[in-house]
Amino acid sequence: MVKANVSSLTPILQATGVHKRYGATVALDDLCFSLYPGEVCGLLGENGAGKSTLVKILSGIVVPDAGEIALEGQAYQPHNIVDARTRGVSTAFQELSLIPTLSIAANLFLPKPKVNAIGLVTIRAIEELTETILKQYAVFDVSPSTLVGDLSLGLRQRIEIVRAMLREPRVLLLDEPTAAIADREWLFGLIESLLARGTAILYITHRLDEVRRLCKRCVILRNGRKVLDAALEDMTDDQIFSKMAGRSVVETYPIRESNIDEAAPPVLAAHKASAAGVNDVTFRLRRGEILGLAALEGQGQSSLFRVLAGLVPLKGGSIEVNGEPVRLRSARSARATGIILVPEERKTEGIFNDLSTAANISIPIINRAARFNFIRNRKERQMVERGASRVDLNSRYLWPNINALSGGNQQKAMLARSLLANPKCLLLFDPTRGVDVGTKQIIYQVIRKFAREGGAAVFYSTELDELVHLCDRCLVMYRNAIVAEVRQEELTPHLLLSLAAGHKIDAYGTA
């Protein structure tokens, strides 16, 4: 745990009776809490508990309906984000507030980059400044003039965090700061240096180990109400989870009753496959198997998934489905062979924003509910409900717009969509990212069940624990190539980590 340097007992930020409702839903109900200088306070809660609303209120994006907030003893009612920033409150958003078509340098200094006497932005000056800043914050190997859109998700998240820290805030809000970052030590190091300066940090996450590591105290929200505000030391994980969920959910993994069919030809196999970002990859995925994939950010895992899903053409080698060589020319042709991708970026690659959840689920297979090209609503409803029940998605979420759903429920809908297509092989790219504990459990069970019933899955995750507990076997990628294959008996987070970081361990190195 980080040593908190609690210099005084006067809170830097104090909220009393904060209330916010959106239409009929109460997002925050009579919330009182304080934040002390030099501490990291964990903010926990399932999706939809009100964490994001609190962040938005504190950063000036949303104005509360009632309640008072005081910052350093003075009333704090920011009208916009610039207001909040000038008062010393800055935020790294979960959804990343970066502009992909602008450079890193421009993004760091928005909305008011430095200008010269005639009002022109001094590109060279801000790029030089950015260079120093990036070095100072230990973000290496990236030029300040690079467009943010060309960065990996992990790097973008780093830039978002650096930007929030850059303003030397008195209060820093970090909303799921490690969702896409594999190297969490980087962030923890920065947090410690901020604490030494007396900054107060509100840390929002789904990951309990991070809270334990960083925070002495945590606040748990459920349905917009504060249900707990206590020191972490005295609490067990189970107690915390049950407070969050209102029921007892321990992070458990379904029993691994593997049902691998050794005799059948592999569901999916790659032989010396190479493409842009993928180097000489060979593996066999058998029926009933969950094949893990461990890798740090940007080691080619995303390219490999794209190749297997038919989104990136293969340059060399071959891919076999059920023992027969195939050419995957498009996502459609991959689907036709039974390979279905559950993509990395749910927001942009997964959901159709303005459609109902039901339509989101049924879209790829809507033909099955149509007669003479007209959709039969009853048939669609049956289909969708069948899919929803497989992923434990409450049917009351089916008919509203998918935007209104929490990340966890959206992800369930994505899984339902994939399962309805009767896949033989699922490609799951970090399916539990930004998803609450309860939903994670369901996702694990769904994947397990899918494998038990004869499916096969490639499963990439940024959480090593998941790989260790869920997979039958795990491949490790490093620099676009598979560097190791770890058997189930030998899976430990530690081993995966060192392999993924490029350490060669004799027994495992296949290179």
Partner 1 sequence: MVMSMKQASREKGRPLPSSLFAAILYVVMFVIYSINAPSAITLGGITDLLNNTIVLAIASAGLTLIILAAELDLSSVGVIAVSNVLVATVSTKMPAGTIGSLLLVCLVGLLVGLVNGWLVAFLGLQSLACTLGTMIMCQGIALVILDAPGGEVAAFIMNRLTDTVFGMIPVAGLILAMVVLAWLLFRRTRFGIAIYAVGTDAVASHLTGIDVKGTKLRVFALAGVAYGLAGYLLSAQTGTGDPRVSNSFLLYVFAAVAIGGTSLGGGRGGVIGSVIGAAILTVMQKLLFAVGVADFYTNIFSGLIMVVAILFGNLSAILTLHQRMPLTRHGDHGYSAQ
Contact set for partner 1, span 114-133 (CB under 8 A):
115, 118-121, 123, 127
Q: Which stretch binds partner 1 (CB under 8 A): 109-117, 280-288, 379-387, 408-416?
A: 109-117
Cα 308 to Cα 345: distance, rounded to the nearest angstrom: 17
Answer yes or no whether residue 372 interacts with partner 1 by CB under 8 A. Answer: no
Name the strand (E) or helix (H) holding 420.
helix 407-420
Q: Which of residues 225-284 bind partner 1 (CB under 8 A)?
A: 276-277
Nearer to partner 1, 97 or 333 (CB): 97
Nearer to partner 1, 306 or 448 (CB): 306
In angstroms, what is the minimal distance from the CB of 85 to partner 1? 7
Q: Specify which residues 230 forms β-bridges with.
A: 218
Answer yes or no whether residue 87 interacts with partner 1 by CB under 8 A. Answer: no
Answer yes or no whether residue 357 interacts with partner 1 by CB under 8 A. Answer: no
Q: Which stretch binds partner 1 (CB under 8 A): 14-22, 100-108, 193-201, 263-271?
A: 100-108
In angstroms, what is the minimal distance from the CB of 243 to partner 1? 23
* Amino acid making up residue 438: G
Q: Specify which residues 326 forms β-bridges with.
A: 319
In angstroms, what is the minimal distance from the CB of 1 to partner 1? 14
Nearer to partner 1, 209 or 490 (CB): 209
Q: Specify which residues 287 forms β-bridges with.
A: 261
Answer yes or no whether residue 99 interacts with partner 1 by CB under 8 A. Answer: yes
Instruction: Retrieve residue 189's tokens.
Output: 């190091």
Answer yes or no whether residue 459 interacts with partner 1 by CB under 8 A. Answer: no
Q: Which stretch binds partner 1 (CB under 8 A): 32-40, 180-188, 317-325, 404-412?
A: 180-188
Answer yes or no whether residue 57 interacts with partner 1 by CB under 8 A. Answer: no
Answer yes or no whether residue 98 interacts with partner 1 by CB under 8 A. Answer: yes
In angstroms, what is the minimal distance from the CB of 26 to partner 1? 24
Rg (CA), the chain: 24
Instruction: Retrieve residue 144's tokens.
Output: 């300040």
Give the number of other Cβ atoms within 10 Å of residue 357's Cβ.
29
Nearer to partner 1, 297 or 392 (CB): 297
Answer yes or no whether residue 105 interacts with partner 1 by CB under 8 A. Answer: yes
Q: Which of residues 200-219 bind partner 1 (CB under 8 A)?
A: 209
In angstroms, what is the minimal distance from the CB of 413 to partner 1? 22
In angstroms, what is the minimal distance from the CB of 324 to partner 1? 26
DSSP, collapsed to helix, strand or coil, labels residue 31 as strand
Q: Which of residues 487-506 bind partner 1 (CB under 8 A)?
A: 493-494, 496-497, 500-501
Contacting residues for 379 by C-beta, under 8 A, at least 6 apart: 368, 369, 370
Contact in structure between 265 and 323 (CB atoms under 8 Å): yes
Answer yes or no whether residue 181 interacts with partner 1 by CB under 8 A. Answer: yes
Nearer to partner 1, 23 or 396 (CB): 23
| 386 to 106, 364, 379, 412, 436: CA distances (angstroms) | 48, 15, 11, 13, 23
φ/ψ bin of 14: left (φ > 0), alpha (ψ from -120 to 50), beta (otherwise)? beta
Distance of CA 106 to the CA centre of its chain: 25
Pair type for strands 225-231 and 268-275 = unpaired
Answer yes or no whether residue 189 interacts with partner 1 by CB under 8 A. Answer: no
Nearer to partner 1, 176 or 380 (CB): 176
Q: What is the DSSP letter of 73?
A: T
Buried b / exposed e over 123-135, threshold 16 CB at 10 Å, is eeebbebbbebbe
